[in-house]
Amino acid sequence: MIHNHYFSSALVRLHAERRYRVFADLERIAGRFPHATWHSPGGPRPVVIWCSNDYLGMGQHPKVIGAMVETATRMGAGAGGTRNISGTNHPLVELERELVDLHGKEAALVFTSGYVSNETGIATIARLLPNCVILSDAWNHNSIIEGVRRAGVEKKIWRHNDVAHLEELLAAEAPDRPKLIIFEALYSMDGDIAPVNRICDLAERYGAMTYIDEVHSAGMYGPAGAGIAAREGALHRIDVIEGTLAKAFGCLGGYIAGSASVIDAVRSYAPGFIFTTALPPAICAAATAAIRHLKVSQWERDRHQERASRVKSVLNAAGLQVMPSETHIIPMMVGDPEKCKEASDLLLAEHGIYVQPINYPTVPRGTERLRITPTPYHDDAQVDALAEALVDVWGRVQLPLRHRALAAE
Ligand SMILES: *Cc1c(COP(=O)(O)O)cnc(C)c1O
């Protein structure tokens, strides 16, 4: 092919920087999560998954699978078009009603992914605000960055979770200029939480709109799984909530929720909503089943937090350096892309444990890490096996361990 060498040399560059990505070929086993089959180069092998964003195991919940199968059987596989052209199906309308109720907003709009909801939602909202300036947290996800870029308006980046810096930037703007503050409730690489109420205080003081990404918190935190803003009593202070149906809710799709006008405007102006086929009815029904279940069932949330603290204490007791986090995300800093990849490869090949390496550009260079995500379905024996495997691998790739006697103190 003409120009082929450009592509192959781009790949050579990635290999040289040790950030060429290799995907593990996995087959999840419904009903046995976190067990899976790894289709390794040497044939199929059993593994335990420790890095899934199916945080609560809802992807295998009988109610969710049941809704999906039953709906597909009745309504077929695809949606049949964009929402405008024959794609609005009843389960999708019901899903949006469910989201309205979950987040206590006037309206909600579903997209084909959380990525698209940020990318097209942010761009559309900002473009409809005359002379808008966007204030975006430095650690915001790539989907937010792309949304901001597409908006084509002025942007200011505030230092991660630094409200003093945010205030400085807000104060420098003319009082009547439309401002849009964008942040995440829970940052998924460090597992830290935004100071939601302090950000809302500033938004009120300086007349800014608030847009929160609750992708890593909806379903898992707050009353009925409504998220961190709800937990902090700040739901009414947030103008737009964005979330995914693919993480705690175990399915696929994204959404925004807010006032009737902002949602109707995005529905009417956002290209990433208008010009793409709607989610299939079966996926909508499955997501609705997951949301409904998590609204009334506290078991998954409690067990999730209990498992996360269990993993942290077992790993700490084994002398492993666990980055402190107040959430279910357990980052283990490696700080070297090669060692990070090697540790992950050894865990998979020799211990049947799957934790993929997190390297640049997902995290800054020098902060490469393994990111462990316990679920309600990881049992004590699996936690112990994880600790033993990590101790072995840490020794082999020459990463520091605390002395066990010290760790026990
Ligand atoms: C995963 C993620 C998204 C995108 O959601 P998808 O439904 O997977 O497309 C958006 N924001 C953040 C912070 C994410 O981590």
Is residue 405 pLDDT above 80, yes or no?
A: no
HEC readout, 350-408: HHCEECCEECCCCCCCCCCEEEECCCCCCCHHHHHHHHHHHHHHHHHCCCCCCCHHHHH
Closest CA to 56 of 380, 376, 378: 376
Which atom of ligand 1 is found nearest the CA of 140?
Answer: 13
Which pLDDT value is given to residue 85?
94
Q: Is the CB of 141 under 6 A from ligand 1?
A: yes
Q: Which amino acid is at 202?
A: L
Confidence of residue 4 (pLDDT cuts 50, 70, 90): very high
> What are the CA-CA distances from residue 264 to residues 244, 273, 352, 366 (Å)?
19, 12, 48, 43
Is residue 38 pLDDT above 50, yes or no?
A: yes
Q: Is the CB of 394 under 6 A from ligand 1?
A: no
Confidence of residue 408 (pLDDT cuts 50, 70, 90): very low
Q: Is the CB of 143 under 6 A from ligand 1?
A: yes
User: Residue 302: exposed, middle, or buried by beta-carbon count in 10 A (0-12, 13-18, 19+)?
Assistant: exposed
CA 157 / ligand 1 centre spacing (Å): 20
Q: Is the CB of 115 under 6 A from ligand 1?
A: yes
Which pLDDT value is given to residue 275?
97
Q: Is the CB of 188 under 6 A from ligand 1?
A: yes
Nearest CA to ligand 1 atom 7: 114
Confidence of residue 403 (pLDDT cuts 50, 70, 90): low
CA 53 / ligand 1 centre spacing (Å): 10
Q: How high is the mean pLDDT of the chain?
A: 96
Which atom of ligand 1 is found nearest the CA of 253?
Answer: 7
Pocket of ligand 1, candidates 54, 112, 115, 193: which has the most ligand atoms within 8 Å of its Cβ, to mutate?
Answer: 115
CA 244 / ligand 1 centre spacing (Å): 6
Q: Is the CB of 215 under 6 A from ligand 1?
A: yes
Q: Is the CB of 244 under 6 A from ligand 1?
A: yes
Element (H, E) at 243: strand 240-244
- Number of residues that make up the chain: 409
Is residue 299 pLDDT above 60, yes or no?
A: yes
- Report yes or no on whether pTM surpasses 0.85: yes
CA 279 / ligand 1 centre spacing (Å): 16
User: What does the pLDDT average to over 126-131?
Assistant: 98
Tell which phi-psi region holds residue 252, choosing left (phi > 0), alpha (psi between -120 and 50) or beta.
beta
Peptide bond into 34 cis (omega under 30): yes
Element (H, E) at 211: strand 208-213
Is residue 100 pLDDT above 60, yes or no?
A: yes
Is residue 407 pLDDT above 90, yes or no?
A: no
pLDDT tens for 243-290 read 999 999 999 999 999 999 999 999 999 999 999 999 999 999 999 999
Q: Is the CB of 113 under 6 A from ligand 1?
A: yes
CA 115 / ligand 1 centre spacing (Å): 5
Output Rg (C-alpha) for the chain, integer angstroms: 22
Which pLDDT value is given to residue 32?
97
Nearest CA to ligand 1 atom 6: 114
Confidence of residue 324 (pLDDT cuts 50, 70, 90): confident
pLDDT tens for 338-363 read 999 999 999 999 999 999 999 998 99
Greater model confidence, 17 or 191: 191
CA 245 / ligand 1 centre spacing (Å): 9
Q: Please pick, among 247, 312, 339, 341, the residue that the annotation labels catalytic.
A: 247
Is residue 27 pLDDT above 70, yes or no?
A: yes
Confidence of residue 406 (pLDDT cuts 50, 70, 90): low
Poorest-pLDDT segment among 20-24, 145-149, 162-166, 403-407: 403-407
Poorest-pLDDT segment among 132-146, 208-222, 228-242, 312-326: 312-326
Q: Is the CB of 75 under 6 A from ligand 1?
A: no
The reply to whether 247 belongs to the active site is yes
